[in-house]
Amino acid sequence: MKLAGHTAIVTGGGRDIGLAAALKLASEGARVAINYYSSSAGADAAVEQIMGQGGQAFAMQGDLTRQADVDALVSKTVDAFGGINILVNNAGGLIARKTIAEMPLDHWNAVMDLNVTSVFMITKACLAHMTSGAIVNLASQAARDGGGAGAVAYATSKGAITTMTRGLAKELGPDIRVNALCPGMIDTDFHNIHTADAARRGYEAAVPVKRQGSVQDTANLILFLACDDSAFITGANIDINGGMLFS
């Protein structure tokens, strides 16, 4: 039980990468607070599964671009579990594919708020209660290569997360380590919504491992970065893309 006695907050934990991460951390003994925005069914099912296996968890709806929702999540976590050791900053999204030429300022600001400002807000709130532990951010392969068509805003926001990861690692060490994942094509609703099936088949044909990634692949890496197995790693943005991009 690599995380026995530890408390983790997982944002965007109601589906896909966040849901798999919450279950993985709980399986290693962590008490888990699951934030979700709209995926209540997945979050509630995860809590039921964790508690059914003898663990501790709760799910809480919240918009992490709102200070009141951020503060409520952190307060409930501390009240329920006594502190915070691990923060997984997974909440985020593309929203829609738009070129710069067609992009209204409101869309740009919405993407930045969702993917960058929310990470700043929840991280700052958690740090008031973290004396040691790990922060794991979700960046993207788009931060490396600029993303696909119509993803400039998203790629820019995820590039900011890679830089924030490095800066926080310097600022918070040695007691708190900060690392990030840069996922490529992971089989999630993100790509079900925003990526054409032909592009996904092309990815599978081109990538050395000849498949898309699974949420279990990302959950395994999140666990590694959250526990002491990675005790000498901080400020790293780790590619997890099956070999599609080497950095």
What residues are annotated to the active site? 154
Q: Supply 139's token pair.
A: 């960046």
State how far the Cα of 71 lies from the Cα of 167, in Å rounded to an integer.
Answer: 23
State how far the Cα of 163 lies from the Cα of 225, in Å rounded to an integer.
Answer: 17
State how far the Cα of 158 lies from the Cα of 77, in Å rounded to an integer.
Answer: 27
Q: Which of 62, 196, 86, 66 is nearest to 134 (CA)?
A: 86
Cis peptide preceding 174, ω within 30 of 0: yes
Check: CB of residue 223 under 8 Å from CB of residue 26.
no
State how far the Cα of 116 lies from the Cα of 124, in Å rounded to an integer.
Answer: 12
